[in-house]
Structure 1
Amino acid sequence: MGDKKHSQTHDADHHDHDDHHHHHHDNDFTDYMAAVTEYRRSFASKADVMSQAPDPAVREMVAYMDSMGIENCFDRFDKQKPHCAFGLAGICCKNCSLGPCKITEKSPRGTCGATADLIVARNMARAAAGGVAAHGARAREVMLTLKKAASGEIDLPIVGKNKVLGVANMYGLETEGKTIESLAGEIADILLEDMSRTVPGKHRTLTAVAPPERQQVWNDLGITPISSYHEIFETLHATTVATQGDWRKAMDQFLRLGITFSMNSVVGGSIASDCLFGIPTRSTIKANLGALKKDFVNIAIHGHAPLLATEVIKTARTEKFVTMAKEAGAQGIQFYGICCSGLSTMYRLGGVIPLSNANGAELVVATGALDLWLADIQEVFPGIMDVANCFKTVVVTTNESNRLPGAEHIGYKRDLSDLNRLPELADRIVTRAIESFKNRLDVKRHIPPYEVEAEVGFGLEYLSEYYGGSVKPIADALKEGKILGIINLAGCTNTRIVFEKAIVDVADILLKNNILIFANGCASFPMAKLGYCSVKGQDKCGNSLKEFLGSDMPPVMHFGECIDNAHAVGTFATIAGLLGHPIKDLPFAEVTPEWSNEKGVGAALAFRMLGFDSYHCVHAPVQGSKKVMDFLYGGTRELLGSCMNVDPDPEKLAQMIISDFKTARKKLAWDV
């Protein structure tokens, strides 16, 4: 009898507790559902893109595709509306088959007992792991190629000889009496070990590159990573069903991923690229769709792994293929850049015309001007095939990780064991492009008449040289207030926002307020296409910034592809060193207004780990957890000296950056 009574009391207590629990969640649930519903209402439509996109070529192409009845990502985005509120809030869990579970008023916990806080934190950690893997896969490919080139296994020159020597010194390698090749081999081994270390040990790139102040912060928080492979493995393990049950510990793993994104995927990838292909050099190029040529064999380079693309461009410029193209009735062979492989080859090999980032890729194909579309990895939308088929554009994939149904595949093995075949593969690809040119003479072309000049290929080395051996003039101008602050403008574009509009709106306001802009990756496309990377772009600047830039510098300095975040960070860190302050105390920021994927999560997080505040017009899927949202949008300030700031209105976001820069300057006792 006593046992039964005890049981009833326990049940009653449990019921009361549950009621209280429900009541607490009702309020939270109502609040975040209202916030998400409001946010969802602000999403752009295809009609908005047609009327408000800042690039007239984009507006024209969206309307043209509309008139032809050909679908693109803007159509598909509209068809998804209204977007899933649970997904937007981050409170949908499908990590096991006890569900899938979603948090609602009726069900404040998943089947396993996971709360909204835990579900949101685990989802964010998994997204960051995806970002580290994406940029990391690209980096690993270049590191392995560097290793093979160094050992002579493949016949590929190591172009960045000075970079090899600089990096060898940075790692403390003995250089006396060693060839560039043997040093490059040692560097490749260090980079690969930092990427894939399984036996915990010292992370050599982190130790050599990260400011001591940051290393101390990470050690004190217990978040120094072991390697990319280790942290991704650990994240996927800890977020499986009924493993990590503490949302805050899941966020520690999230932070570790931010550091390895920075040190391995970006810095490691950048070191390997610079050693193998050479560092960026400044050059003037043409940008936007008006630069498409009608009587040429036109090849688009799309993706993020520039190995085969680089070989294809070199091959196409040999006498054999120049002659073959002319015999086919073309004036020559022209290359165009989509995403980062296009940017990488643009500033290293020259003569590659940047046209668009991922979301605009279908618009480029719809011009009908491209004979061959060469796709390697990442941000190659499957939808591109439908458009290519309408215009007889041949799509060639080169990487096993990125196959497209209906495309032709001319690539190397996934273990890179046949990289010595690069010249033969490039030969086949250029031959295929010339064949395609002959087969497409009847295809209608629609080329919007918009093109501008852009300056590209900026980096620490170039700026130091330009300013007489050091970037001290930039540091001095910052301290004196001629430059109010400096931002790194990066990130993809997002269909939630009018295509490229947030990037342009933010840039306009910041330049007027004398804020200098470094740009790279997808966000650099609207800057290049719309004249911001030209000296003429100084018309958009406030007086003191204009005066500082002088007669020869654009207000937006184009640093290159997305992993060239590493070049930007190197420049910021050097300026910080000259000023004698840590990055976290300076008027610096990472601004990715339209970020849209897991790499974007990783990039913004990586900058925050280094002490930069990050600013965005797109919310992360965290609104379903007040704890996780508060942690990221302010709570990390105490731990890292930096945090995340979001406002879907680009004007408000820009004002927030200006205000934060003024606050930072006041703390430094600098003129505002």
Structure 2
Amino acid sequence: MTKEQHSHEHGHHHDHNDFTDYTAAVKAYRETFASKADVMDQAPDPAVREMVKYMDEQGVENCFDRFDKQKPHCTFGLAGVCCRTCSLGPCKITERSPRGTCGADADLIVARNLVRAAAGGVAAHGARACEVMLTLKKAAVGEVDLPILGKETVRNMASAFGLATKDKSVEELANEIADILLEDMSRTVPGPHRTLEAVATPERRQTWKELGLLPVGAYHEVFEALHQTTVGTQGDWRKAMDQFMRLGIAFSMNSVVGGSIASDCLYGTPKRTTVKANLAALKTDTVNIAIHGHAPMLATKVIEAARSDKFVKMAEEAGAAGIQFYGICCSGLSSLYRLGGVIPLSNANGSELVLATGALDLWLADIQEVFPGIMDVADCYKTVVVTTNESNRLPGAEHIGYRRDLEDLDKLPELADRIVTRAIESFTNRRDVQRHIPDHEMEAEVGFSLETLDAHYGCMERVASAIINGQIKGIINLAGCTNTRIVYEKAIVEVVDILLKNNVLVFTNGCASFPMAKLGYCSKKALNKCGEKLQIFLRGELPPVWHFGECIDNAHAVATFREIAGYAGHQMKDMPFAEVTPEWSNEKGVGAALAFRMLGFDSYHCVHAPVQGSEKVRDFLYGGTRELLGSSMKVDTDPKKLAAMIIADFEEARSNLCWR
């Protein structure tokens, strides 16, 4: 038997056009990628355009320069058909070589790469969540001097977990809750997933059970994902996709919901507040500290320390008018709505632009989305960068942090004092640094959650009624990072502009929320961006974009979606709801969109996943999960077409529910 006959006989035959088609599709997609010049001309935020041009004039490199230097991007990587699992390769799938050295074809390679990406997302959010869970436990048993501020959340979760509460203090209940969250995160012996059972709807639990997708726990599923994708293990692309979906549930229930429960117990739920956003809010006469990353423990202590009489006086003696904090990514957002007085400036891709203003004295970096490239920019403007976490060290940065085993968390006050002292020293050493601060700022209202909305409306019945009667056509959750393949933040803004005009209400959190805050969408003054019906519903009482906070506040958004669906009398999967991550860019973005699809939400994107090299995997993701989960993934690189797709799908959902 010839090789060709054997390949056909055993189902490995590939049509000649398969490779031509995916190569042509990837090359066409690559042609849509943005350039630095596009960002300077088309970015919706005028402050971004100004800072990119300013850095260009100063000869200071940023992520947009580095993206341009990577062009043309690898066709095999974009299509997902490059395999680096073992050292028999690396192997790439081409017309001449349709299988890797081990025999893996395009379908298996693409599926395995997706599984590994999803595992990375679970681990990323899970690591942050686990630190907060451990901190909650240490606070509850008195090993660290942190008060349990979310007393109502503790009592509510104790009830949801079925804990005996009689004669127990908040601290005792918080300790039990922390143990449940940690057990669900790290379980090794299969057993009931108590977080999932407490918060997932009965319909979803049954769906996942019938599909055999119930996770053991986040640690187990990441472990299993890495095991399955090692060389010579899982050879069935479709079974690999089962593990992919299982990771989506673990991401949702452990990494996001579990982390959110721990944060809310420890620090309290978000509080609605109105702040200034964007670069003009940078002050020139204060000690300026940027909070960057995703771990709240030390950042919170630093803010508290800086507001003490001791450091207020020290700053004044150094010639400063005070100490001001600014938010980059999620640590800044969580600090903002819990402690107040933190000014949101940018997501990760804009961090170098913020540094180039020359206005920051100290950059406090904890974990995740802290690009190594910030160090070169910080050096140019003499900004001190301090890292706090052993998982996120930067060459050239100073390290003032706690140990990776968290055994020295009781030293948080001491570490915070050292950091604030260093910031004041930096202020005195940087008087000669040139400042360039664009004159652009907006007002933003942040801190939305089910609790704050219930406080405003009494319950979600009014919102559900507005959806039924058509004042609200549907609701999206706008999240995800930004991506240099697209003009910075442009897809986010263009999609939202069209949706608001078509009476779609917007929830937002994480990196995608920054352009919404910076450009005025989170202000009541933005009602003119809405269609007439949505304006009538909002009544000038609330903005058209409801800012739910940081990445893990997807959990707060989902709780609100669930409550609205309950008042409407339908399952979430049947409602005109959607997850929209136009510019997603990393493993957490894979996890977030997947988590929402596991909940029954369609997800919409302007950035393709690396699946063009496998028609089977692509079709499964884009449409094949509809019958299984009631949801699918939809992609169009044109934001206007993506928005039109969302509107059409919402109209279909409304028609299916017999709503006008």
Could you say whether these structures have the same fold, taking a TM-score greater than 0.5 normalized by the shorter chain as the test?
yes
Pairing of 1:637-648 with structure 2 (within 5 A) = 637-648=626-637
Instruction: State the match for 1:392 in structure 2.
Output: 382
CA deviation after TM superposition for structure 1 residue 588, in Å: 0.2
Alignment counterpart, residue 449 of structure 1, candidates 410, 419, 439? 439
Alignment counterpart, residue 504 of structure 1, candidates 481, 493, 507? 493
Q: Which amino acid aligns with 1:194?
A: D
1:285-329 CA distance string (max 9 Å, x none): 010000000000000000000110000000000000000000000
Q: Report the Cα distance in structure 2 between the residues aligned to 1:66 and 1:241, rounded to whole angstroms.
A: 45
Is 1:294 aligned with 2:287? Answer: no
Alignment counterpart, residue 332 of structure 2, candidates 311, 320, 342? 342
Alignment counterpart, residue 155 of structure 1, candidates 140, 145, 150? 145
Q: Report the Cα distance in structure 2 between the residues aligned to 1:193 and 1:551, rounded to whole angstroms.
A: 45
CA contact (8 A) 1:514 1:542 kept: yes
State the secondary structure of the residue aligned to 1:299.
strand
State the secondary structure of the residue aligned to 1:331.
coil
Instruction: State the match for 1:403 in structure 2.
Output: 393
1:219-277 CA distance string (max 9 Å, x none): 00001000000000000001000000000000000000000000000000000000000
Pairing of 1:56-67 with structure 2 (within 5 A) = 56-67=46-57
Pairing of 1:564-579 with structure 2 (within 5 A) = 564-579=553-568
Is 1:419 aligned with 2:409? Answer: yes
State the secondary structure of the residue aligned to 2:23.
helix
Q: Which runs of 5+ in 2 are unaligned?
A: none
Alignment counterpart, residue 525 of structure 2, candidates 526, 532, 536? 536
Alignment counterpart, residue 40 of structure 2, candidates 50, 54, 61? 50
Alignment counterpart, residue 664 of structure 1, candidates 629, 653, 656? 653
CA deviation after TM superposition for structure 1 residue 330, in Å: 0.3
1:486-526 CA distance string (max 9 Å, x none): 00000000000000000000000000000000000000000
Q: Which amino acid aligns with 1:569?
A: V
CA deviation after TM superposition for structure 1 residue 18, in Å: 4.0
Alignment counterpart, residue 273 of structure 2, candidates 269, 283, 291? 283
State the secondary structure of the residue aligned to 2:393.
coil
CA deviation after TM superposition for structure 1 residue 176, in Å: 1.0
Instruction: State the match for 1:563 in structure 2.
Output: 552
Instruction: State the match for 2:112 in structure 1.
Output: 122
Instruction: State the match for 1:33 in structure 2.
Output: 23
Q: Report the Cα distance in structure 2 between the residues aligned to 1:616 and 1:163, rounded to whole angstroms.
A: 34
Q: Report the Cα distance in structure 1 between the residues aligned to 2:454 and 2:341, rounded to whole angstroms.
A: 25
Instruction: State the match for 1:589 in structure 2.
Output: 578
Q: Report the Cα distance in structure 2 between the residues aligned to 1:389 and 1:294, rounded to whole angstroms.
A: 19
CA contact (8 A) 1:286 1:452 kept: yes
1:550-576 CA distance string (max 9 Å, x none): 122100000000100000000000111
Alignment counterpart, residue 135 of structure 1, candidates 125, 128, 151? 125
Alignment counterpart, residue 536 of structure 2, candidates 543, 547, 566? 547
CA contact (8 A) 1:57 1:450 kept: yes
The count of residues paired between Structure 1 and Structure 2 equals: 659
Is 1:192 aligned with 2:182? Answer: yes
Structure 1 79/626 Cα, relative in aligned 2: closer, same or farther at 3 Å?
Answer: same
Is 1:110 aligned with 2:100? Answer: yes
Structure 1 43/242 Cα, relative in aligned 2: closer, same or farther at 3 Å?
Answer: same
Pairing of 1:456-475 with structure 2 (within 5 A) = 456-467=446-457, 469-475=458-464
Pairing of 1:372-387 with structure 2 (within 5 A) = 372-387=362-377
CA deviation after TM superposition for structure 1 residue 609, in Å: 0.3
Alignment counterpart, residue 630 of structure 1, candidates 606, 612, 619? 619
Q: Report the Cα distance in structure 2 between the residues aligned to 1:361 and 1:40, rounded to whole angstroms.
A: 25
CA deviation after TM superposition for structure 1 residue 17, in Å: 4.2
CA contact (8 A) 1:514 1:545 kept: yes
Q: Report the Cα distance in structure 1 between the residues aligned to 2:601 and 2:244, rounded to whole angstroms.
A: 17
CA contact (8 A) 1:283 1:455 kept: yes
Q: Report the Cα distance in structure 1 between the residues aligned to 2:17 and 2:189, rounded to whole angstroms.
A: 47
1:117-173 CA distance string (max 9 Å, x none): 000000000000000000000000000000000000111001111111011111111
Q: Which amino acid aligns with 1:377?
A: I
CA contact (8 A) 2:509 2:554 kept: yes
Is 1:220 aligned with 2:210? Answer: yes
Instruction: State the match for 2:361 in structure 1.
Output: 371
Alignment counterpart, residue 239 of structure 2, candidates 227, 230, 249? 249
Q: Report the Cα distance in structure 2 between the residues aligned to 1:202 and 1:483, rounded to whole angstroms.
A: 38
CA contact (8 A) 2:602 2:633 kept: yes
Is 1:526 aligned with 2:518? Answer: no
State the secondary structure of the residue aligned to 1:218.
helix
Q: Report the Cα distance in structure 1 between the residues aligned to 2:248 and 2:121, rounded to whole angstroms.
A: 9
Instruction: State the match for 2:300 in structure 1.
Output: 310
CA deviation after TM superposition for structure 1 residue 624, in Å: 0.3
Q: Report the Cα distance in structure 1 between the residues aligned to 2:540 and 2:502, rounded to whole angstroms.
A: 19
Alignment counterpart, residue 602 of structure 1, candidates 573, 576, 591? 591
CA contact (8 A) 2:291 2:325 kept: yes
Alignment counterpart, residue 653 of structure 1, candidates 635, 642, 656? 642
State the secondary structure of the residue aligned to 1:97.
coil
Greater alpha carbon shift after TM alignment, 14-23 vs 595-604: 14-23
State the secondary structure of the residue aligned to 1:24.
coil
Instruction: State the match for 1:4 in structure 2.
Output: none
CA contact (8 A) 1:316 1:322 kept: yes
CA contact (8 A) 1:25 1:108 kept: no
State the secondary structure of the residue aligned to 2:578.
strand
Structure 1 19/573 Cα, relative in aligned 2: closer, same or farther at 3 Å?
Answer: closer
Q: Report the Cα distance in structure 1 between the residues aligned to 2:442 and 2:650, rounded to whole angstroms.
A: 32
Q: Which amino acid aligns with 2:282?
A: L
Instruction: State the match for 2:473 in structure 1.
Output: 484
Q: Report the Cα distance in structure 2 between the residues aligned to 1:162 and 1:668, rounded to whole angstroms.
A: 36
CA deviation after TM superposition for structure 1 residue 19, in Å: 7.3
CA contact (8 A) 2:289 2:360 kept: yes
Pairing of 1:223-234 with structure 2 (within 5 A) = 223-234=213-224
Is 1:618 aligned with 2:580? Answer: no
CA deviation after TM superposition for structure 1 residue 22, in Å: 8.4
1:63-96 CA distance string (max 9 Å, x none): 0000000000000000000000000000000000
- Report sequence identity in percent: 76
Q: Report the Cα distance in structure 1 between the residues aligned to 2:36 and 2:152, rounded to whole angstroms.
A: 48
State the secondary structure of the residue aligned to 1:143.
helix
Instruction: State the match for 1:101 in structure 2.
Output: 91
CA deviation after TM superposition for structure 1 residue 15, in Å: 3.4
CA deviation after TM superposition for structure 1 residue 580, in Å: 1.4
CA contact (8 A) 1:22 1:105 kept: no
Instruction: State the match for 2:320 in structure 1.
Output: 330
CA contact (8 A) 2:527 2:540 kept: no
Q: Report the Cα distance in structure 1 between the residues aligned to 2:526 and 2:125, rounded to whole angstroms.
A: 31
Q: Report the Cα distance in structure 1 between the residues aligned to 2:202 and 2:599, rounded to whole angstroms.
A: 11
Q: Which runs of 5+ in 1 are unaligned?
A: 1-10
CA contact (8 A) 1:509 1:651 kept: yes
Instruction: State the match for 2:254 in structure 1.
Output: 264
State the secondary structure of the residue aligned to 2:475.
strand
> Please, what TM-score do these two structures have when normalized by structure 1?
0.97
Q: Report the Cα distance in structure 1 between the residues aligned to 2:207 and 2:157, rounded to whole angstroms.
A: 25
CA deviation after TM superposition for structure 1 residue 26, in Å: 2.2
1:345-364 CA distance string (max 9 Å, x none): 00000000000000000000
CA contact (8 A) 1:22 1:106 kept: no
CA contact (8 A) 1:535 1:555 kept: yes
